[in-house]
Structure 1
Amino acid sequence: MPKGEGKLIAQNKKARHDYTIIDTVEAGVVLQGTEIKSIRNSRVNLKDGFVKVRNGEAFLYNVHISPYDQGNIFNHDPLRTRKLLLHKKQIAKLASETKNTGITIVPLKIYLKDGFAKVLIGLAKGKREYDKRETLRRKDQERQISRVMKNFQ
Structure 2
Amino acid sequence: KTAHGGAQMFYMKPKGVEVEQNIGWLKGVDVKAHINNYVVIAPSDGYQFVNHHKIVEASKELLKAIKPVNSQYDIPESVRNKYHITEKSKTAELFERIAFGLGGSGMRNNNLTELIGGLLFRGVDPDAVLQLCRLTNQNSPQPLEESEFNKTYTSMLKKEMRRRNDTGTT
Q: TM-score range by the shorter chain?
A: under 0.3
Larger Rg: 2
Normalised by the length of structure 1, the TM-score is: 0.27
Q: Which protein has the bigger strand share? A: 1
Q: Which protein has the bigger helix share? A: 2
Normalised by the length of structure 2, the TM-score is: 0.25
